[in-house]
Structure 1
Amino acid sequence: MARPQLQPREDREVFVVPLDVRPEHIDENGHVNNVVYVGWLQDAGTAHWNARFDEETRGKWSWVALRHEIDYLRGIEPGATGVVARTWVGDPQGPRFNRYVRIEDGEGRLCAQGVSEWCLVEARSLRPSRIPAEMLGPFSA
C-alpha cells in the first residue's frame, strides 16, 4: 500500500537544501544507497537549524535524533544533478519535534520522504528540555 506523500503545512517554512550525489553514494544496485538518505535527513535538519538560529542559541541547545523513518519511492541514479531535500517541522511535543523531509530529483519528482523525531537537549548536559515556544517562530512561514 502506497503511503501518502508528505506535504508541508502552510504555516511552516520549507527549507531547501541542495544534495550532491557522489560516486561513493552509489551501491551495487546502481542507485543511491539507503544509508545515504539517513545522512541526508540529518544534514537537512542541521542546515535548517544552523540557518535560523544564531551561534549563541546553537551553543546553548542541541538536537538528538531519536528515530528516522524513510519511504523509498524512486531510485536516484549516478551523476544525478539538481537533487534537493525540502524540510519543515511539525508541532513541538514537550522536548520532541518531528521533522519532515522530501527528497526530490532534478525534475522535481519525489524520490524519498522521511520523518525524523528529534529531542531538544541542553548542549552542556545533554538533558532533554521542553522546546521553548519562541523556537517555533523561525521555522514558521
Structure 2
Amino acid sequence: MSTAPAEPSVFEIPIVVTTADIDDMDHVNNVVYLSWVQDVALAHWRACATPEMLETLGWMATRHELDYLRAAVLGDAITARTWIGTVDSRRFERFTEIVRTADGVVLARGRTLWLLVSRVTGRITRITPELRARFPASVV
C-alpha cells in the first residue's frame, strides 16, 4: 500500500477517540477505523465539490484495503488524512492515513476505490474533467 507522497494535496480532519469507539480489547475497534476512512473522504468531498455536485452526485466504495499498524485508545487525538491517487473516467482512488496527533505515529493506512453515482438515476456516472479538477491529485 502506498504511503503519503512527498508533496500531496492532503485533506485532514481531527477526531477524538470516544467510549463508543472502544471494543472489548480496550482499543479502537477495526470497524471504527473504516468509518473514519469514510468520514474523511466525505468531508473532503463536501469541501471540494460545488453545491450542484453535492446535490446530484455521490460516491460508492468498490474496494477498501486497510492495514492496521498500531492501536488507538480512549481519549487519543487522531488526525484522519486523505489524498487522491489515480483518477480515470470511472474510478477514483483515495489514500487515507489515520495518525495519532500527539506523536505523528501512523495507526492505520488505507486505499479505497470509489465510483461516482448519480443521485438522480442511481447509476454509475463518468468522472468529468470539471469534477476531477476540483481534487488536486498527487498521482495523475
TM-score (norm 1): 0.89
Higher strand share: 2
Alignment correspondent of 1:136: 132
RMSD: 1.6
Q: 1:98 to 1:125 in 2, by over 3 A?
A: same
Distance 1:32 1:52 in 2: 29
Q: Which deviates further from its counterpart, 126-135 or 25-34?
A: 126-135
Q: How does 1:64-103 map to 2 (within 5 A)?
A: 64-81=60-77, 83-103=78-98
Q: Is the 8 A contact 1:8 1:88 kept in 2?
A: no
Report runs of 4+ in structure 1 exceeding 3 Å deviation. Answer: none
Shift of 1:5: 5.5
Shift of 1:123: 1.2
Shift of 1:8: 3.1
SS of aligned partner of 1:45: helix
Distance 2:9 2:135 in 1: 5
Mark the runs of 5 or more structure 2 residues left unpaired by the alignment. none
Identity over aligned pairs, percent: 40
Match of 1:114 among 100, 110, 115: 110
Alignment correspondent of 1:43: 39
Q: Are residue 105 (structure 1) and residue 117 (structure 2) matched?
A: no
Alignment correspondent of 2:13: 17
Distance 2:115 2:41 in 1: 12
Mark the runs of 5 or more structure 1 residues left unpaired by the alignment. none
CA deviation vs aligned residue, 1:51-73 (integer Å, no higher than 9, x gap): 11122111121111112110000
CA deviation vs aligned residue, 1:20-57 (integer Å, no higher than 9, x gap): 21101111111100000110010010000001112211
